[in-house]
Structure 1
Amino acid sequence: MNSRNACRAGNTSARFLRKSSRHRIADGSRRQGRMILSCWNGRQQNMEEIMKAIMQDERVQKALAYLQEDQEQMMKDLLELVQIPAFSNHERQKAEAMRDKFAALGLQDVHMDEVDNVFGTLPGAGDGPKIMMAAHTDTVFPLDTPLAPQQKDGVWYAPGINDDTHGLADLLTMIRAIRASGLVFAGDIVFCANVGEEGLGDLRGVKHIFRQPNDIAAFVSLDTPTLGGIVHRATGSSRYRVTFRGPGGHSFADFGRPSAIHAMGRAIARIADFQVPDAPKTTFNVGVVKGGTSVNTIAAESSFLLDIRSDSPEELARLEGEAKAAIKAAVAAENRRGTQQGAVAAEIQQVGSRPAGTQADDCQIVRIAQTACRALGIEPELRDETSTDANIPISLGIPALSVGRGGREGGVHTTGEWFDPTEAWLGPQKDLLMLLLMAGLQDIAPAQLPKR
C-alpha cells in the first residue's frame, strides 16, 4: 500500500476538506432555525434524458449487474459487521473494521479521524462536485447485547442488522462495483462510516465533519427503512438528563422526608399530560428512569432521560419550557409533602441537541433521488421529517438526504430486528445512480449539483 492509501489515525479529518469559512456547530447547539434550500439555478439538462444516457453506458450496466451478483458478498460483510458491538460512543472496533475494508478495496486517503469517523475517497476526474455518502457505525444496543445473527425462512435476525449496519455493507458493495466496472465520476466521492448517529451520540460524527472547512457539495446517508424512502427534512430534538437528589433515609424511621423518586414520579406524571399539536408534529418521551437502592429506603437520588422533538423550532422551545416548569413544580410539591428535615432538588442537564431544517419538495437533490428510483422501477416516497445525520448539513444549507436501504426490514431498535434480503441489491443500485447524477459521469453526463 502506498502512502496515499495508508490508514492513519489522528487529526486528519480536514485532509479531504478545503479552506473555507468555518461552520460552527456546538455540541449543545441551540441553532434550530429552518433553512429552505432553493433548487440549483445553474444550467441543467433534462434529468430524465441524462439518466437515459447514464443507463446506456456499458460501464454502468456492468456495475448494476455486479451489484446484483455481489449480494452474497454484501451479506457476508453484513453478517460479519453486525456481530461487532458498537453502542453509541463505543464504535471504535467497528470503525477499525470499516477502515480496513476501505483500504483493502483500494480507496485513496483512507483514514480515521479524532472521533473515529472513517473516510475513503474515490477520486473523480476533477471537474465535478465532491459528494459524501455515509452510513453510521453505532447502534442503540449496549455492549453486552448478544449479537449473533440467526436465520429463519430466509430472514436474518440480529440487533442492528438494518440500522445502520446494512448501510455500511451497501457502501462496500458499491465500492466494489465501481472499481470492477471502471466508472469514473466527474467529482470525488468520499465514502464515510461515521459515529454517533443514535441516541446520546447526538450526531457527533457528522457534527465533527462539518465543523471543518469543507467543499462537500452534498451529503447522503443510507439510513431509511424503505427502498424508495427519501428524507429531505430534519426534525429538531432536545434531550435532557434530569437528576433529583434528596436527603434519603429509612422508609419507616425517616418517613416524611422528601423522596427523589417521588419527585421524579411527580415530574413524569406532569410531562405525560402535555398537549402537543398534530402539525407541526411534536413529540415527547421519558425513555429511561433510574434510582433507589432498596424497597425500604427513601431514595436519595433518581434520574430520567427526556426526549423532545418537533418539526417546528418554536414548538420545540415551548415544550422545553413546559418541561422545565413541570420539573420545578414537581420538586416544590414533593418538598411541601415532606414533614421532616431535608429537601429534594433537581439538576437539568442537556445531553443532546439536533438542529432542524428543511428543503423544498422539488429541490435538485430530491429530484435526483426520485429520478434514480424511477430508473429502476422504484416508487419514490417523500417520508415524514425525522432526525438523521442529514440534519447537520441541511441546517447549514448543504443539500443532503437520508435514503432507503434495499430488501425488507422491521423491528428496528429492538433485539428482534430482522432483515429479508430479497432483491436487496436494488438499494445500492439506486444509490449508485444517485451518485452518478450528483457527481457526473465523466464524458457522458454532467453533474447535476454544483461545486462548493
Structure 2
Amino acid sequence: MNEEKTAVGPEVARAFEALKTLPAVKEALRLVRERLPETIEVQKELALIEAPSRHEQKKAARYAELLRGAGLEEVETAPSGNVFGFVRGGGRTGSSVLLEGHLDTVFSFGDVKGLFVDAEGRIHCPGICDDTRALAANLAVLKALRACGIRPHHDLVFAGTVCEEGLGAMDGMKRLLGEDLPARTKLLASISIDGGSRGTFYANATGMVDWQVDYEGPGGHVWTAWGEPSAVHAAARAAAKLADLELPAEPKTVLSVTLIEGGQAIHGIASRASFKVNARSNSATVLERLNQRMQELFQAGADEENARWETPGRIRMSCRKILDIPAGSQPESSRIVQAARAASLAAGVQPRLLPGGCTNGNIAIARGIPAVTLSRGGEEFGTHTLAEWFDPRGVWVCEQRSLLLLLALAGVEGELAPLDLRV
C-alpha cells in the first residue's frame, strides 16, 4: 500500500468516511464541481483587479462584497487591510478554523493588460493562479456550505490576506493572527490555499530572511587618493566569504547574495556599496545560527579591507533585516497532517507532502497553530511571470479537499464531532 495512504490513523480515516456519507456534504461536494464555471468567472474578474503588495484595497473591497453576497457574517476589512468574516458554529465554542488565500500578487500596476483563453481552455493573465485561484475557490466553498445548510460545530473564518508576496513578508497573515482575530475567536487550525498542482500540500515552514548590508568609506580619485579603502572591495570580500560558506543539505539551507551595487564613478575609489542577501532553511535553529554567522562575515569584509590599507575604521558596515519569516515544523504523524492526507484521498487525489514550503502557513506554525497549505488544484505555468496561465480542467478537487478538511476540523453540528488536533 502506498506510504501516503498508510499515514492516516484509524480515527482520522473514520472521521472522513463518516463525513463523506452525510447527505448535505455529498451535495456540497457536487455543487463545487457543478458550479466550477461560475467559480472560474469570479477568478477571472478578481485577476483583472491589480493588487501589488500593500496596494490591495480595490481587490479587498470587491472580495468583501463577494463574501457578503455568499452569506458570510460579520465581514469586515481590518486596519491591516485583511478581509475576513465568520460562519458561526452551532456549538458556540468561541473557537474556529481558518480558510484563507492572499489578495496580493507580485506584479506592478500596469502589468495586467487583460486576459485571454487559448484554444485549449487555459486562462492567460498575470496573477490568475497565485493567489487569485485561492480566493475564488474559497468563495465557492463558502457558497456550497451555505447552499446546503451545513452548520459547523466550531466557527469558520474565511479570509483574504494582504502582503504575502515578496517584501510584504506575510505581514497580512501576521496581523490576522496577531491583531485581527485574537479578540474575536480562538483559532484551532489554519488552512491556506497556495501553490500549484493537485495533491500537493505543505505542513512545514521554510524560514527566510533578507538582509540589506551597506558599506561606507571616504572614497576619492583612484590615482590621487590611492591608499584609501574601497567600499566596493569590502562588499566584495564579504560576498566572497558568504559564497564560500558550507551549508547543510539536511535540513535544506541556502543563501545567495542577490543584488549588489556601489561606487560613484568609474575612476573613483568607491565611497559606498551595498548588497542584499536571501537565506532560507527548513530549520529555525539552523537559520538563526546562519544569521549570526552572516553578520560576522558582513563585518569581516569591512575589517579586511581596512586591514589591507592599515586604515582601521575607515570603512564602516551597517546591516539590517528587511524580511524575516519564521521556520517551523510539525510531525508527519500529527493529526493536521493526517487530516490533510485523508482529505486529499477523500477528494480522489493522491496526497504528496512537500518538504519545507514558504507560505502563510509559516506564520500559523510559528505560533503553534496546526496548519497546512493545500495546493490550488490543476496545471499552472509561469507563476510570478507575465506569461502566467491556469488550466481550469478538474480543479474542483481544490474546493472539495478544503471543504472536507474544513468540516473535519470544525465538525458538523449534530452530525460529526471535530477532530481533536491535540492527539
Determine if the TM-score, normalized by the shorter chain, exceeds 0.5. yes
Residues 351-390 of structure 1 aligned to structure 2 (within 5 Å): 351-390=322-361
Are 1:131 and 2:97 counterparts? yes
- State the partner residue of 1:12: none
Are 1:149 and 2:115 counterparts? yes
Q: Point out the more displaced range, 281-290 or 132-141.
A: 281-290
- State the partner residue of 1:117: 82
- State the partner residue of 1:188: 155
Q: CA deviation at 1:297?
A: 5.4
Q: Provide Cα deviations, 1:127-173, integer angstroms capped at 9, x if missing partner.
A: 56411111111223334534533433322233332222211111111
Match of 1:60 among 17, 22, 25: 25
Are 1:279 and 2:246 counterparts? no
Provide the alpha-carbon RMSD of the alignment.
2.7
Judge conservation of contact 1:258–1:342 (CA < 8 Å) in 2.
Answer: no
Residues 16-165 of structure 1 aligned to structure 2 (within 5 Å): 46-126=11-91, 129-146=95-112, 148-152=114-118, 153-165=120-132
- State the partner residue of 2:6: none
In structure 2, the CA distance between the partners of 1:440 and 1:336, relative to structure 1 (3 Å rule), is same
In structure 2, the CA distance between the partners of 1:294 and 1:432, relative to structure 1 (3 Å rule), is farther
Q: Point out the more displaced range, 405-414 or 293-302.
A: 293-302
SS of equivalent residue, structure 2 residue 194: strand
Match of 1:420 among 369, 391, 396: 391
Match of 1:199 among 143, 161, 166: 166
Q: Provide Cα deviations, 1:25-62, integer angstroms capped at 9, x if missing partner.
A: xxxxxxxxxxxxxxxxxxx9833333233223332222
Distance 2:79 2:345 in 1: 39
In structure 2, the CA distance between the partners of 1:294 and 1:147, relative to structure 1 (3 Å rule), is farther
Task: Kindly provide the amino acid, as one letter, of the partner of residue 331 in structure 2.
Answer: A
- State the partner residue of 2:363: 392
Judge conservation of contact 1:374–1:380 (CA < 8 Å) in 2.
Answer: yes
SS of equivalent residue, structure 1 residue 431: helix
Distance 1:316 1:383 in 2: 20
Q: Point out the more displaced range, 268-277 or 91-100.
A: 91-100
Q: Point out the more displaced range, 110-119 or 410-419.
A: 410-419
Q: CA deviation at 1:192?
A: 0.8
Match of 1:173 among 140, 156, 160: 140
Task: Kindly provide the amino acid, as one letter, of the partner of residue 329 in structure 1.
Answer: A
Q: CA deviation at 1:277?
A: 1.1
Residues 170-249 of structure 1 aligned to structure 2 (within 5 Å): 170-212=137-179, 213=182, 214-249=185-220
Q: CA deviation at 1:117?
A: 1.0
Q: CA deviation at 1:340?
A: 10
Task: Kindly provide the amino acid, as one letter, of the partner of residue 434 in structure 1.
Answer: L
Q: Provide Cα deviations, 1:244-264, integer angstroms capped at 9, x if missing partner.
A: 233445566656654433433
Give the TM-score taking structure 2 as reference length. 0.87
SS of equivalent residue, structure 1 residue 224: coil
Q: Provide Cα deviations, 1:329-349, integer angstroms capped at 9, x if missing partner.
A: 222333455699994322101
Distance 1:175 1:196 in 2: 23
Distance 1:422 1:57 in 2: 27
- State the partner residue of 2:3: none
Q: CA deviation at 1:265?
A: 2.9
Judge conservation of contact 1:372–1:433 (CA < 8 Å) in 2.
Answer: yes
* Overall identity of the aligned pairs, in %: 34
Task: Kindly provide the amino acid, as one letter, of the partner of residue 128 in structure 2.
Answer: I
Judge conservation of contact 1:368–1:434 (CA < 8 Å) in 2.
Answer: yes
In structure 2, the CA distance between the partners of 1:252 and 1:78, relative to structure 1 (3 Å rule), is farther
In structure 2, the CA distance between the partners of 1:347 and 1:85, relative to structure 1 (3 Å rule), is farther
Q: Point out the more displaced range, 136-145 or 424-433.
A: 136-145
Distance 2:332 2:237 in 1: 43
- State the partner residue of 1:17: none
Q: Provide Cα deviations, 1:247-306, integer angstroms capped at 9, x if missing partner.
A: 445566656654433433332222122211111111112233344556555544333221
Give the TM-score taking structure 1 as reference length. 0.82
Q: Point out the more displaced range, 247-256 or 365-374.
A: 247-256
Judge conservation of contact 2:335–2:421 (CA < 8 Å) in 1.
Answer: no
Distance 1:315 1:450 in 2: 28
Q: Point out the more displaced range, 166-175 or 120-129.
A: 120-129
In structure 2, the CA distance between the partners of 1:87 and 1:292, relative to structure 1 (3 Å rule), is farther
Are 1:431 and 2:406 counterparts? no
SS of equivalent residue, structure 1 residue 358: coil
Aligned length: 408
Q: Which runs of 5+ in 2 are unaligned?
A: 1-8
Match of 1:260 among 231, 235, 249: 231
Q: Point out the more displaced range, 166-175 or 209-218.
A: 209-218
Distance 1:289 1:430 in 2: 44
Distance 1:262 1:83 in 2: 46
Judge conservation of contact 2:306–2:312 (CA < 8 Å) in 1.
Answer: no
Distance 2:378 2:188 in 1: 29
Residues 396-411 of structure 1 aligned to structure 2 (within 5 Å): 396-411=367-382
In structure 2, the CA distance between the partners of 1:296 and 1:63, relative to structure 1 (3 Å rule), is farther
Distance 1:274 1:329 in 2: 14
Q: CA deviation at 1:450?
A: 6.2
